[in-house]
Amino acid sequence: MKEKVTEVLNSLRPHLQADGGDVELVDVQDDGVVKVRLKGACAGCPMSQMTLKNGIERILKEKVPGVTSVQSV
C-alpha cells in the first residue's frame, strides 16, 4: 500500500508546489492511517487542514483501497 500512496502523493505534489508547499510521506500504518508532513507554505497555512482532509485524504481514499485516514505530523 505504501507504494500506491507514494504514487498518489507524487501526482498531487505539483498542485501543492504551485502554491509554494509540498507534502512528505512519513508513514503508512497497518490500520490504513497515512501520516504526512506538510512543508513549505502548506506548513503554516490556515487552510492546511482543509487541504489535508478535503484534498489529500479524499483522493487517497478514492485511489488506494485500505486508506482510512490521513494525519499531519
Domain positions in the chain? 2-72
Per CATH, the number for 2-72 is 3.30.300.130
∠ CA 54-18-8, rounded to 5° = 50
Those residues of the chain that have pLDDT short of 50 are none
pLDDT digits (tens, 9 = 90+) for 23-34: 999 999 999 999
Amino acid in the structure at residue 28: V
The pLDDT of residue 44? 82
Q: Side by side, which strands form the sheet with 69-72? A: 21-28, 33-40, 69-72
Dihedral angle, C-alpha 54, 12, 25, 30, nearest 10 °: 60
Largest CA distance in the chain: 32
CA distance 55 to 68: 14
